Structure 1
Amino acid sequence: MPAPMFRPAVPGDVDALVGLVTAAYRGQASTAGWTTEAHLLEGQRTDATMAAGAISDPAGEVVLAEIEGALVGCIHVQHHAGAAHFGLFAVDPTRQAGGTGSALLAQAEERARGWGCTTMDLEVVAQRTELIAWYERRGYLRTGATKPFPYGDERFGIPQRDDLHFVVLRRDL
């Protein structure tokens, strides 16, 4: 498989971005990859308003990965006061486990370093042990901090269990 090319997202990418994130995490299409959350959450993972907000974020950038013109991955990296955060991280489920996610994460870390950031963090649903392990293999450590899941806000999905919460992971850059 050819290596992905990277570029910043633009407003015209909103629909493709929403479709990619949905395919990677929710519904039947997500089960083709290993990042599915369909057993934990139903409904949407993001919507056009949230994607457009990430693209226009003045303190960040949405980076897209494309192979032969096809969108195969995305990540939103933000910075504030010397620290970086990322989210909206997705890879087409039919192309997972091929290095695109690692390459996208490296792109986000490179941008964060360019902004002068010394750490990068993220939140992961605590029940996603295989995903947490993937981040730990890349140097991210659990901080001990947790955040509540936004129950009742269907913009983030419809929980299928009542014990969801996020763990915070961080890496020194």
Structure 2
Amino acid sequence: MDAEATGLTFRDATDADVDALVALIESAYRGDASRAGWTTEADILQGQRTDPEGVLQVIKSPRSRLLTVEQGGRIVACCQLEHRGEHVYFGMFAVSPGQQGAGLGKAVMAEAERYSRDTWGAGEMHMTVISVRDDLIAWYERRGYRRTGEMSPFPYGDERFGVPQRADLQFELLVKPLV
């Protein structure tokens, strides 16, 4: 998906985008609206995925960039890029449910990887994915990410990250070289 051919605009998020970004992220992962796409977490997590404070914190951080993607004047995707020395952490990735499966996610990842390599000189992209999300992990693997087996605990009891519907949630680190 060529950004120019599809009318995509990539830019940094601003304070004025917070409400639209929270709505996008929530729609991509939680509740019935998320079921229109394939990235839903509605069966494993309920409650919120993020909140205005969390989004604003990423926007304001000097080490982060919240890449915002517009099409036709509407925000349709986003991702967080956090510069961590030799690597960049990729998170808060959301694509509007109605546009999932059409190549938009691939275009966002390609731009995120290009920016991280060319602007920050990062050698790797890191991300964490809930380890039971087999379809999502497979999608990342097709894009060159590899499972590390390195796990970190899910923040059970902290409803800022959702209300787990299972007792076996944990995050797995995925890594991709950017060279």
After TM superposition, the score normalised by the length of structure 2 is: 0.94
- Does the CA-based 8 Å contact 2:83-2:89 persist in structure 1? yes
* Residue of structure 1 in register with 2:154 after alignment: 149
Q: 2:34 aligned with 1:30, yes or no?
A: yes
- Aligned residue pairs total 173
- 1:5 aligns to 2:9 (yes or no): yes
The secondary structure found in structure 2 opposite 1:94 is helix
Shift, 1:3, TM fit: 3.9
Q: Does 1:101 align with 2:109?
A: no
Query: Hey, what's the Cα distance between the residues in 1 that align with 2:173 and 2:114?
Result: 20
- Structure 1 residue ranges, 4+ long, deviating more than 2 angstroms after superposition: none
**The residue matched to 1:151 in structure 2 has which SS?**
coil
Correspondence for 1:86: 90
Give yes or no for the alignment of 1:162 onto 2:167: yes
CA distance in 2, matches of 1:63, 1:101: 12
Query: Shift of the alpha carbon at 1:24?
Result: 0.1
1:4·1:100 contact (CA, 8 Å) conserved in 2? no
Shift of 1:57: 1.4
Letter of the 2:163 partner, please give it. Answer: I
Task: Give the CA deviation at 1:167.
Answer: 0.8
SS at match of 2:105: helix
The normalised TM-score by structure 1 is 0.98
* 2:45 corresponding residue in structure 1: 41
- Stretches of structure 2 that go unaligned for 5 or more consecutive residues are none
Which one of the candidate residues 20, 24, 32 is aligned to 1:20? 24
Counterparts of 1:97 and 1:82, CA distance in 2: 31
Deviations 1:92-151 (A, max 9, x none): 000101111111111111121120110111000011000000000000001120010000
Distance change in 2, residues 1:83/1:90 (3 Å): same
Do the aligned partners of 2:7 and 2:72 also contact (CA within 8 Å) in 1?
Answer: no
Between the aligned partners of 2:43 and 2:23, the Cα distance in structure 1 is: 19
- Counterpart in 2 of 1:133? 138
Distance in 2 between residues matched to 1:100 and 1:3, nearest whole Å = 11
RMSD of aligned C-alpha atoms?
Answer: 1.0
- Partners of 1:133 and 1:86 lie apart in 2 by 17
Aligned AA for 2:77?
G
Q: Secondary structure at the match of 2:24?
A: helix
Structure 1 segments unaligned to the other structure (5+ residues): none
Task: Give the distance between the partners of 2:48 and 2:126, measured in 1 at CA.
Answer: 23
Q: Deviation per CA, 1:9-40, whole angstroms, max 9, x where unpaired?
A: 00110000000000000000000000000000
